[in-house]
Amino acid sequence: MRSILRWALYFLFRILTRLTVTGIENIPSEGGCLLTGNHLGLMDGPLIFCLIPRSDATGLVARKHKKNPIIRFIVEGAGGIWINRSITDFGALKKARSYLKSGGLLGIAPEGTRSPTGALIEAKPGVSFLADKSDVVILPEATTGSEVSIKELFKFQRPAVHVRFGQPYRLPPLDRKNKDASIKRNTEEIMCRIAAMLPKSYRGYYADHPRTFELMKVNEDMHNTP
């Protein structure tokens, strides 16, 4: 079911959008992996799911979307984990941690909700907790164009959508003696890694963060290296 769903979604995105993807080679072929990306709209989850060449890719999805039969079908077909974002959903986070520890790839939107402007908003600290408890590599991902895709489709236009996967990395363990500061540091690192792969208009809350500029310079140097 998962394989059929993935290829059906991939076919639809290729037909209905002008899709470009870079960095697909950065996706770990196996092992626990926490994928973190920006969240522009309902298309993001299905899009990322169908692009990942792994049979164990899934994600955390807001429970409110369970009311939508199409989204529910896709999420449950992909083995997604429903999470109540209005509370600290320990049950969902425990399932997510177990999935990662078992070697699966799990996607999460650190912002916790769709950005109303398309630019990054301040992330929730839950992603840092999950990364720390799971102790897996983190894969940054950045999407552009999906925020207007549904609107353009209704106008019989093929929206231009770009997805970029960055280099996997690991975060330092949380400092138990200075927990709040280390959670903030790790959350900012996660978000700045995403921001550094986005155009300026999408960087939002993290546009002027010094770490974003550092990472942009690193990305530029890597791109220019023969």
Q: State the pLDDT at residue 65.
A: 87
Cβ contact 195:203 at 8 Å: yes
Per-residue pLDDT tens for 49-77?
A: 999 999 999 999 989 888 889 889 889 98
Structure tokens at 38: 């920006």
Which of 77-81, 122-126, 217-221 is predicted least confidently?
217-221
- Higher-pLDDT residue of 204 and 153 is 204
Q: Which residue has the tokens 């790839």?
A: 105
Domains in the chain, please, with CATH?
Answer: 2-224 (3.40.1130)
Rounded to whole angstroms, how far apart are CA atoms 208 and 226? 29
Average pLDDT of the residues in 84-89: 80
pTM over 0.85: yes
